Structure 1
Amino acid sequence: MNKFTYLFVSTISALGLAACNSGAKVESKPNDTEIASKQVAAEKLVLAKKNLSIWPTIASEVKADAALERQVQRLLSNMTLAQKVAQMIQPEIRDITPEDMRKYGFGSYLNGGGAFPNNNKHATPQDWIALAEAMYQASIDDSLDGSTIPTMWGTDAVHGHNNVIGATLFPHNIGLGAANNPELVEKIAKITATEVMVTGIDWVFAPTVATVRDDRWGRTYEGYSEDPEIVRSYAASVVKGLQGHAGNDFLGDDRVISTVKHFIGDGGTVAGDDQGDNLATEQDLFDLHAQGYVGGLTAGAQSVMASFNSWHGDKIHGNRYLLTDVLKNKMGFDGFVVGDWNGHGQIVGCTNDNCPQAANAGLDIFMVPTDAWKPLMENTIAQVKQGVIPQARIDDAVSRILRVKLRAGLFNKPSPANRLFSGKTELVGSEAHREVARQAVRESLVLLKNNANLLPLSPKLNILVAGDAAHNIGKQSGGWSITWQGTNNSNEDFPGGTSIYDGLASQVRAAGGKITLSEHGQFSQKPDVAIVVFGEEPYAEGHGDKDNLAYQRGLKTDLALLKKLKAQGIPVVSIFISGRPMWVNAELNASDAFVAAWLPGSEGKAVADVLLTDKNKKIQHDFKGKLSFSWPKTASQTVNRFDEVYDPLLPYGFGLTYKNNKEQVLLSDTLSEEVSSDEGLAKNTNIFSGQVVKPWRMFLSSEQQSIELRSNSGKLPGIAYRTVDKVVQEDAFRLDTTGTAKTGVVFSSSFSEDLGFELEQNSALVITVKRDSSITQPVVVEMHCESIGDALGSCRAAVDITQQMQTIAQGQWQDIAINLQCFVKKGIAMDKIVSPFALYTHGAVKLSISDIRYQPQAEINTLKALIIQCP
């Protein structure tokens, strides 16, 4: 822990600040050596207060090999310092080229969620292979860097090979936890390895082994359970599925390197704050949050990813006690520790391009997307020469990387384009793989309510299927599905996949029944039963953080649909799509049957196998899923198995079946729907908050051309768009215009929206913006509305923000607030809004935006915003 930690760590933790994403080289300061020595002294003091006896020595199934170790040392002895440090640098595919790889010889590289070869969301497997082959060949080309060490490509294949169009997408981890079937999970991991290897990739950033303690966390669905028992067994199963079994098929031609993540405590932060602070005791840190590592490391996991979170205010990426003393020395982990997306830059005293603290703490590979990779590499080399980072620490890190590469056979395997599965595109989304995914869907469903044994349903009935998730493969798949957030996808982006409606329709029609799909529950003939499929919109990581677990807080359109159908005397079956348990008492009351379907992935058709009998009224598949998370009784309840006071609505392990409900707690139709005062309705209209907020859609505009932004980059004549980092990964976007046309970005809805309540609150339109260049031409913000008898969106008003933009210091984030009366006075009708925000310019401008929202004036007065009132 460095000398600044004690003074500033509480402030940094509370604000969630990340280091600036600077691309400029930062030279080592004259007192770096002094700081490093004081850091070591401080860490020794902290270590004296820790208890290493809590942590076990793990007997990995992968044993040390003397001959392999001699190979490691031979390779290491012939490497220059620059070659060694390059092995520790992991850039992202959007930030490097094969030429960069040839020149520097990076040890590895990655594609972030939603990053694709050629920035093409619809890149084919051949496109992925071509990039893998080009990078590999460049890495073993010693003409520039003198190195022939092969590189590795790492990818987030967290529920199948989820970045690739057409891949099999399995249920997210929360659903697999409900299935509680380690053998099935191992099979899923092996299939994932196969589909990953079709595209020439070596390394998968999975499994996530977080033990989730607060379901408000946006990554809850990445956890298998709130209790470590499932997490521990599943970690071993996934590692074996990805890597193979030690001593048998370990890291053979049909396997990939696995990563247990995120070490450690990410599922236990205060209030479920992503990248927040875990305040568990050291004993609880082991008992609750380390069990996945016990399972995964025992099975032979070769890499561990450091976590963004802190432990008692100390960022894990810079925590020598946990990364080195505990993980490597005591637990005996001999693979490598890789960082998470610029996580080293969040350490106090560090930036993305300068962080000796992380290397000294035990980080072996810096995950450094953006153009910070080059100054980070240069600074690290300089810091080794100056003694700030010991040469022995570099040699240890590189030895670990080489050890894993040798174990994985990367020095001997054919190049990516010539490996066992490479190019065998028939394996991506194959029927055999999808059948395993369908099994996982069936076993993950949890039946929470079944009044009068309404389920299972005969396929011969007249069935109405409603809800916006019924025929929406993207929504049922959730985050980490093609795009990072899982948003901006259509059913066409999942070739071979099926929606929940698809499965129902197929079986009902085959049995001679009648089925109608109507999102809003409309019908011409009264149905015998309605199946309503609804739930959370897709999200990933911190974008999914919530302050309570109330479903559709302040909106309740899905509840209105359920009540409408019930009022018409139609029995209602609810299929709830979510990444966590949620407070849905009102929705439960309005449902005769209620199924927690979690995030089932691309094989939605399997839901029908459990809901429907065959045509002879015989059960096809009974419910098997049991809650691996306790279901909350109130919107603000945080409840976990074995709590001293344990009073959930539904307990851990709950799950009805068709055959035996006698011993289960049965829900009434009169659950409390009262919302306490601290769970009041949200009043702000968010348009962009790290991601586009529904119902808005985001478009890039250039003169008469427009494209919807469905990926992390886009381009039209005169303008380029790309996601960037402000605080966390890709929580902002940058516009780069050339001044050759009127260009900009537009947020709009397919229908006009009533935002009249914002006027009642005297709200302003608030933009968090950063000027990345000089502003010499007007920059205007517009709103568009629908005019009666006129073209949709032709009602518009503009406010010039050029002066305010010019006053912002270049490179500084600043709020600009425009009172909505500025737009109303120019004719905007707030009850007919089509576009709540658009920004245009004719000039050459570089600017970034991280947040767009309507906010009451009373709240804005507390901000240091540049306020435009408009007389």
Structure 2
Amino acid sequence: MPKKLLATLLACAIAVALHAQQPKDAKMDVFITQLMKKMTIDEKIGQLNLQTEGDIVTGSGGNSLSTERIKKGLVGGMFNIKGAAKIRAIQKIAVEQSRLKIPVLFGMDVIHGYETVFPIPLGLACTWDMPAIEQSARIAAIEASADGICWTFSPMVDITRDPRWGRVAEAGGEDPYLGGQIAKAMVTGYQGRDNFSSNTDIMSCVKHFALYGAVEAGRDYNPADMSTFRMFNDYLYPYQAAIDAGAGSVMASFNSVNGTPAHANRWLLTDVLRKQWDFKGFTVADYDGVGELVSHGMGNIQQVSARALKAGLDVDMVSEGYLSTLKKSYQEGKVTLAEIDAACRRMLEAKYKLGLFANPYKYCHESRASKSVYTPEHLAIARKTAAESFVLLKNAQNLLPLKPGKTIAVIGPLANTRSNMVGTWSVAADLTKPATVVEGLQAAAGPDTKIIYAKGSNLFADSTLEANGTMFGRKLNRDNRSDANLRAEAIQAADKADVIVAVMGEASEMSGESSSRTDISIPDVQEDLLKELVKTGKPVVLVLFTGRPLTLVWEDKNVPAILNVWFGGSEAANAIGDVVYGKVSPSGKLVSTFPRSVGQIPLYYNNFSTGRPASDHGFEKFRSNYMDEKNAPLYPFGYGLSYTHFAYGDVKLSASEFSAKSNVTAAIEVKNDGEDDGDEIVQLYIHQRVGSAVRPVKELKGFQRIHLKAGEVKTVRFTIDNDMLKYYNAELAYKAEPGDFDIMIGTNSRDVKSAKLTLK
């Protein structure tokens, strides 16, 4: 084709695309401009007011719905109201009895599923399966939207490197690249791919902006303080990836950053988010985040509300600081009408994009809810995804999978509970529906397998600690017998069995918001029970529930098989049965490093080397090491076993050198040299040998999930280009620097094969 004709056709295509986009944006702009001309300042401020009513309260306080307030146009959005009929009734007041008939935006904490619950986000990330992660968000959107919800406070994309912090359970782990891929998948799953054209598409809210995963001492709501070099290279990318994927809203974080709380941090909310990343959606406070600025020492409620608005925070969640003080601040010249208008416009644009002005009842169809929520199809997908999320940490003498027909003693405080299966932040779930682990194992093993159950211990010896870890209806029905009596009953059950399955760890609310721990081992009385079970000499399988990495040094040394199942959601128990009895081979890989002790924290794979690196020969004085512990983790990032074994060949590069305008292919042969079919997650890491700033010892830059039949060999290829080698240097310029790089491919971040590549 002649170049001139090609150029003409390209110009025409661009013009057509622009023409297709402009009317839609222009139409929205005209509509909202005309609407805002009719609005009083009270009505504009009312659009910035987000409140909750009734069903689920997530913070320490709350406020109640005022019908008169909605009629006056003083409510922009509401959240955590469950049910299309309830939402329709409230929306009817807004669009039929208010002066301007502006619809209300309805949100909910749909974090890892709606009524069909998927694994907690930490477990979901361990699948390394982006289509499955996107599908989990799509199903959540289908179900939530059928019940009236059009906005979700998800995904949480905070990088987390301190497992003492309970909200590790809600995030995708320690790595920015993997976190970014998860963020994109979740946003796409929620919002769809066609500008909210379907009534199954709901708006996502990326949280928590920013650095919430780096709170000091792993204590919730604490400050986070770090260099901008670390922010941009390690912590900010997943947020940016979510924005690039089209996320419609962003939630501020509770922590302070560089001495300023995020809710009032103009550098974060305006300079980075809007000016650098070109974010066009709206920003929202976390629960009472504006009101809590008073406790931060930022001023009284009027002062902090004005400061938050001027920083770029559009919507106030439940504190009502905006509603009660912004008009006065405007009258006193503390805020401008332009600042109020900008925030109001962004909220109205979100409603327009969702189609609420065209059809306020777009998400209110009770009949669809009866057909689209908690369906057999959704449950089957949740079961498959849960099994993919489990990480096999140890399997001595191939104890797993178990063979049907034997007598199994299923012991532990989490073995016979339904409400704990779904994990934290599953606010819409029916806690009576999930199967117990006992039931899941029996269903998988069949009638020829006899299962003997004994609780064996409570969650904690201390009843107060147990109450703190079993909130929100997730009770374990504490047994009032003595610890000794409970253990004795468990040992009697074990004596009658061929194999012991110990179902232990954390209860679902021992992780999540406001669930920080200083001791991240298996709780005291459970650990005592496990040691007694091992002493019986019977084979022991530890089915481990947890919402964070735990310290498992004794368990790793003494327990033959350890299967980490996180909290797998609605179908957790059935998925556990599938894996324990070999219907599915485990394939999950860790996205967070498991430390040997709390004293190693923070511990993560992509650390910087030091001028005095530790040796491999134990403790040495004047080296970067501990007197009483190894530097190495118990289980490294990317680690996870299978029922089969995968052998890796050598890394082969298509060229040993390349330029900024070219690329190189890195290939490796992977063979399933075991006897079972299985999935493997092949991981690509890169290390820059010399840089203008210190570079990590390795960085994840790619991964592929592959399926191999027994004996099968596949060649896995990664394309390496200039963009893959870029980083933010000491001046925060984002670029790749010429030099030598180690290209590493392997089964986890520790066990890799390597080749050298030079960027000219």
Q: TM-score under structure 1 normalisation? A: 0.62
Determine what percentage of the aligned residue pairs are the same residue: 31
Q: Is the 8 A contact 1:89 1:366 kept in 2?
A: yes
Q: Which residue of 2 aligns with 1:514?
A: 450
| 2:596 corresponding residue in structure 1 | 633
Shift of 1:589: 3.1
Verify: 1:282 aligned to 2:228, yes or no.
yes
Work out whether 1:447 is the aligned partner of 2:415.
Answer: no
Aligned 1:614-653 pairs, distance under 5 A: 619-638=582-601, 639-644=603-608, 647-653=632-638
1:536-555 to 2 correspondences below 5 Å: 536-539=506-509, 541-552=512-523
Q: 2:357 aligns with which of 411, 419, 443?
A: 411
Equivalent-residue separation in structure 1 for 2:530 and 2:349 (angstroms): 57
CA distance in 2 between partners of 1:531 and 1:225 (Å)? 28
Post-superposition Cα deviations, 1:92-141, rounded to whole Å, max 9, x if no partner, equal 114233513433324533345xxxx6xxxxxxx6xx22321122111113
Distance change in 2, residues 1:542/1:313 (3 Å): farther
Distance 2:404 2:642 in 1: 19
Q: Does 1:231 align with 2:179?
A: yes
Pair 1:68 & 2:28 matched: yes
State the partner residue of 1:139: 94
Whether the 8 Å contact between 1:441 and 1:606 is mirrored in structure 2 is: no
- 1:462 matched to 2:432? The reply is no
Change (3 A) 1:62 1:465: farther
Per-residue CA shift, 1:166-197, capped at 9, x if unaligned?
Answer: x1111101001111111101111011011112
- Is the contact between residue 146 and residue 364 of structure 2 (CA under 8 Å) also seen in structure 1? no
The yes-or-no answer on 1:581 pairing with 2:530 is no
CA deviation digits over 1:737-788, x for unaligned, max 9? xxxxxxxxxxxxxxxxxxxxxxxxxxxxxxxxxxxxxxxxxxxxxxxxxxxx
Choose the corresponding residue for 2:141, options 193, 210, 225.
193
Cα distance in 2 for partners of 1:210, 1:275 equals 13
Question: Would the aligned equivalents of 2:215 and 2:223 in 1 still touch at CA under 8 Å?
Answer: yes
1:570 matched to 2:538? The reply is yes
Q: How many Å apart are 1:319 and its aligned residue?
A: 0.5
Q: CA deviation at 1:199?
A: 1.6
Which moved further from structure 2: 495-504 or 578-587? 495-504
Q: Distance in 1 between matches of 2:332 and 2:71?
A: 24
CA 1:414–1:316 in structure 2 vs 1: closer, same or farther (change >3 Å)?
closer
Give the aligned length.
561
Q: Following the alignment from structure 1 to structure 2, what is the Cα–Cα distance between the partners of residues 367 and 249?
A: 26
Kept after mapping to 2: 8 A contact 1:90/1:106? no
2-structure distance, mates of 1:106, 1:131:
19
Letter in 2 for 1:509: G
Q: 1:656: which partner in 2? A: 641
Which of 334, 339, 347 is equivalent to 1:401? 347
Residue equivalent to 1:241: 189
Distance 1:632 1:417, change over 3 A: closer
Q: Give deviations 1:581-620, integer Å, cap 9, x for gaps.
A: 111222333311001111112212333454344xxxxx42
Quote the Cα distance in structure 1 between the aligned partners of 2:146 and 2:337.
38
- State the distance in 2 between where 1:290 and 1:62 align: 30
Shift of 1:548: 4.0
Q: Are 2:124 and 1:176 equivalent residues in the alignment? A: yes
Of residues 73, 79, 85, the one that matches 1:130 is 85
Once the two structures are superposed, residues 189-219 of structure 1 have per-residue CA deviations (whole angstroms, 9 ceiling, x without a partner) of 0110111122211111100001102111110
Equivalent position amino acid for 1:141 in 2? E
The answer to whether structure 1 residue 364 and structure 2 residue 290 are counterparts is no
Q: Aligned letter for 2:223?
A: D
Q: Compute the displacement of 1:439 (Å).
A: 1.3
- Aligned to 1:110, the other structure's residue is in SS state strand
CA distance in 2, matches of 1:141, 1:400: 23
Q: Summarize the alignment of residues 760-799 of structure 1 with structure 2, pairs less than 5 Å apart.
A: none
> Structure 1's 418 and 130: CA in aligned 2 closer, same or farther, altered over 3 A?
closer
Aligned to 1:728: none
Mapped partners of 1:62, 1:545: distance in 2: 47
CA–CA separation in structure 1 for the residues paired with 2:134 and 2:420: 25
CA contact (8 A) 1:442 1:609 kept: no
| Aligned amino acid, residue 568 of structure 1 | T
Question: 184, 209, 217: which is aligned to 1:263?
Answer: 209
Distance (Å, rounded) in 2 between the aligned partners of 1:443 and 1:135: 40
1:547, 1:602 → 2: CA distance?
Answer: 29
Q: 1:563, CA displacement in angstroms? A: 2.2
Mapped to 2, the partners of 1:312 and 1:532 lie a distance apart of 45
| Structure 1 position 148, deviation (Å) | 1.0
Q: 1:417 to 1:648 in 2, by over 3 A?
A: closer
- Cα 1:385–1:430 shift into 2, 3 Å: same
Q: Distance in 2 between matches of 1:422 and 1:296?
A: 33
Q: 1:576 to 1:612 in 2, by over 3 A?
A: closer
Counterpart amino acid of residue 589 in structure 1 = K
Partner residue, 2:38: 78
Instruction: Tell me the equivalent position of 1:526.
Output: 496
In structure 1, the gaps of 5 or more residues are 1-60, 118-124, 162-166, 487-492, 614-618, 665-871
Within 2, Cα distance between the matches of 1:418 and 1:304? 25
CA RMSD of aligned residues (A): 2.5
Quote the offset at 1:66 in angstroms: 2.3
Q: Which runs of 5+ in 2 are unaligned?
A: 1-19, 55-62, 457-489, 610-630, 649-669, 671-760
Aligned to 1:202: 150
DSSP 3-state at the match of 2:600: coil
Tell me the residue number matched to 1:603: 571
**Contact 2:421 2:573 survives alignment (8 Å):** no
Rounded Cα–Cα distance in structure 2 between residues aligned with 1:612 and 1:596: 11
Q: Deviations over 1:612-656 (max 9, x none)?
A: 44xxxxx42111101100110113221012113662111101111
Query: Higher mean Cα deviation, 557-566 or 305-314?
Result: 557-566
- Structure 1 residue 660 displacement after superposition: 0.8
Judge conservation of contact 1:456–1:611 (CA < 8 Å) in 2: yes
Q: Give the secondary-structure state (helix, strand or coil) at the position aligned to 2:597.
A: coil
Cα pair distance change 1:584/1:476, threshold 3 Å:
farther
Tell me if 1:349 matches 2:298: yes
Query: Partners of 1:591 and 1:525 in 2: how far apart?
Result: 17
Equivalent residue of 1:473, what SS? Answer: coil
Using the alignment, how far apart are the partners of 1:152 and 1:141 within structure 2? Answer: 15
Check the 8 A contact 2:147/2:364 in 1, yes or no: no
Residue 295 of structure 1 and its aligned partner are, at CA, apart by: 1.7
* 1:543 positional shift: 2.5
- The reply on whether 1:436 has 2:373 as its aligned counterpart is no
Q: What is the CA distance between 1:473 and its match in structure 2?
A: 2.5
Q: Is the 8 A contact 2:494 2:533 kept in 1?
A: no
Q: In structure 2, how many angstroms separate the alpha carbons of the residues matched to 1:185 and 1:272?
A: 27
In structure 2, relative to structure 1, the CA distance for the partners of 1:244 and 1:97 (3 Å cut) is same
Mapped contact 2:138–2:189 kept (Cα < 8 A): yes
Q: Secondary structure at the match of 2:598?
A: coil
The answer as to 2:104 corresponding to 1:158 is no
Contact 1:577–1:597 (Cα < 8 Å) also in 2: yes
Match of 1:105 among 40, 62, 73: 73
Q: Which residue among 523, 526, 529 is the counterpart of 1:558?
A: 526
Distance 2:431 2:266 in 1: 43
Aligned residues of 2:45 and 2:322 also touching (Cα < 8 A): no
Matched, 1:308 2:308: no
Q: Residue 457 of structure 1 contacts residue 611 of structure 1 at CA under 8 Å; is this kept in 2?
A: no
Measure, in 1, the Cα distance between the counterparts of 2:363 and 2:254: 34
1:360 counterpart letter in structure 2: K
Q: Is the 8 A contact 2:408 2:499 kept in 1?
A: yes
Counterpart secondary structure, 1:636 = helix
SS at match of 1:477: coil
Cα distance per residue 1:363-420 (max 9 Å; x no partner): 100001xxx53x641311111122211111111111111111111111112516744x
